[in-house]
Structure 1
Amino acid sequence: MPIVLSALLAGLLAAVSPLLLARLPEPTAEPDDDMPPKIPYADLAAVPRLGLWLALPAAALGAVAAATISEPRLLPVWIPIAAATPVLAWVDWKVHLLPYLIVSRLYVVSWLLIGVSALWMQDASVLLHALIGNVAVFGFYFLLAVLGPMGYGDVRLSAVVGVGLGPLGLVATYYGVFFGLCIGAVVGLVLVRGRIGQRIPIAFGPYLLLGAFASLWV
């Protein structure tokens, strides 16, 4: 039952995410000269049957979370993360940008649901572990952004991943970061193959999120 319910909720949330995407204001920052013109959010949201295509992977991720998280009271935070993963991946792949208004709302919702889990379990350490995961994962990706080409949208998203992974333990948090980097590295090598020296934009957000879900199996 938790697997079915988690999949259903994640899928339903993802199915309506194009409505939010269509209403996002466009970024005000000057576009990068090396990047193609940005596709408007409204155009990205207008793709036929987009809600269905986003709902299917979201439901699958929700089911994965429910099937692999041993403490079901820590599951609620992973449902909106599962729901947001496909739409964030879609936007990041198309325009190499993670919308601030989606990531920031997801961050707030994640903390609210972690608070619900802590109350449900009557265990304040859940909040402490979420905070440690938040700071550790965010700090690691912030350092990558300072030292390399990591975008700050990915850094903001990493804080959400840290909040979800922290209460699951140090091992899950470590592997969440490790798997995300591995998936991103493999895809990056494929994309730049034969084009060394060229600037090839890589949407890292989807791999960051997929790495987090992959770590749930550990």
Structure 2
Amino acid sequence: MSVLSVALIAAVGALAGAAARPVVFARSVPAAASARSDCPHCGSGVLGRRLPVLPASGRCPACAQAIGPHAFTPEAAAAVAFAVIAAGGASGWFAAAQYWIAACGVALALIDVAVQRLPDVLTLPALCGTFLLLTAAQVAGEPGSLGRAAAAAAVLTAVFLLIAFTGAMGIGDVKLAPAIGALLGWSSWTALFWGAAAGFVVGAVLEVARMAVGRARRTHVSFGPYMVIGALAVSVTAA
């Protein structure tokens, strides 16, 4: 793919990140709360009912206090993810599934980092959208297997559920597992293994780095971002 094409797709990713910003703000709340629409500092309504948008500066329009994701964080993260996927060379409906996981994953990752939650309002669309796009890929005759994707989703979910029973993983990670498993399983069982393993490796490396600079959480690791990064990295190379 040409540099121009990658740049254009990165721009689309930035727009997807901008669309994710109000979702991240609204859903970065404790489990007891469903969502928010008002500034936590001044109480003014910052999410319009007809067009829920937030400034890319990450500040409340009324009081200028920082709210939601840091300035340009979701936009930049989605742009990079889309550019990497585009550079990987996948095409068709399978590539659309990769972009979908990236778009959902950016929002989920930022929420997980903020409040250590992966809300159902995003994990369920991530799953349904992935299977819908992979079904379209199967109908279009693209290389891969929908049956293997479904089996991989079940296997990874079962494994993560067992880990969750030990207390080493949150239930939100389990709910994200089927979408991740389906995307990886579409390519091969090998991709599933390495994609799942990559999440743990990336998580271990980055958490050690955070500990080295004194920023690691002692009680809980936000594993969602590592799941998404590992899965996309392996999926792109396996395409």
Please, what TM-score do these two structures have when normalized by structure 2?
0.72
Aligned equivalent of 1:140: 159
- Given candidates 83, 103, 113, the residue that maps to 1:83 is 103
- Given candidates 182, 189, 200, the residue that maps to 1:163 is 182
Aligned equivalent of 1:213: 232
Report the more deviating stretch, 45-54 or 105-114.
45-54
Aligned equivalent of 1:184: 203
Gaps of 5+ in 1: 31-38
Tell me if structure 2 keeps the 8 A contact 1:85–1:209: yes
Q: Tell me the alpha carbon deviations over residues 179-201 of structure 1, each in whole angstroms, 9 at most, x when there is no partner.
A: 10111122334455699xx9422
Report the more deviating stretch, 161-170 or 39-48.
39-48
Distance 2:194 2:137 in 1: 22
Gaps of 5+ in 2: 41-46, 48-53, 60-68
Distance 2:22 2:31 in 1: 21
Q: Within 5 Å, which residues of 2 pair with 1:11-30? A: 11-24=14-27, 29=32
Distance 1:42 1:108 in 2: 30
For residue 75 of structure 2, what is the amino acid of its counterpart? Answer: A
- Given candidates 60, 76, 82, the residue that maps to 2:80 is 60
Note the C-alpha offset of 1:67: 2.5
Distance 1:67 1:103 in 2: 26
For residue 237 of structure 2, what is the amino acid of its counterpart? Answer: W
Tell me how many residue pairs correspond in the alignment.
Answer: 208
Note the C-alpha offset of 1:128: 0.4
Report the more deviating stretch, 84-93 or 183-192.
183-192
Higher-Rg member (1/2): 2
Distance 1:41 1:181 in 2: 34
RMSD of the TM alignment (CA)? 3.3
Tell me if structure 2 keeps the 8 A contact 1:59–1:83: no
Aligned equivalent of 1:10: 13
Distance 2:150 2:192 in 1: 12
Report the more deviating stretch, 66-75 or 138-147.
66-75
Cα distance, 1:136–1:157 mapped onto 2, change above 3 Å = same
Distance 1:108 1:51 in 2: 30
| 2:219 is the counterpart of 1:200 | yes
Distance 1:122 1:78 in 2: 14
Note the C-alpha offset of 1:142: 1.2
| SS, match of residue 136 in structure 1 | helix
Aligned equivalent of 2:138: 118
- Given candidates 112, 115, 125, the residue that maps to 1:92 is 112
Q: Which has the higher helix share?
A: 1
| 2:128 is the counterpart of 1:108 | yes
Q: Within 5 Å, which residues of 2 pair with 1:41-60? A: 47-48=58-59, 52-60=72-80
Distance 2:128 2:182 in 1: 10
Aligned equivalent of 2:66: none
Note the C-alpha offset of 1:76: 1.0
Report the more deviating stretch, 80-89 or 176-185.
80-89
Note the C-alpha offset of 1:92: 0.9
Please, what TM-score do these two structures have when normalized by structure 1?
0.79
Cα distance, 1:122–1:88 mapped onto 2, change above 3 Å = closer
Cα distance, 1:107–1:5 mapped onto 2, change above 3 Å = farther
Distance 1:20 1:61 in 2: 18
Report the more deviating stretch, 102-111 or 69-78.
69-78
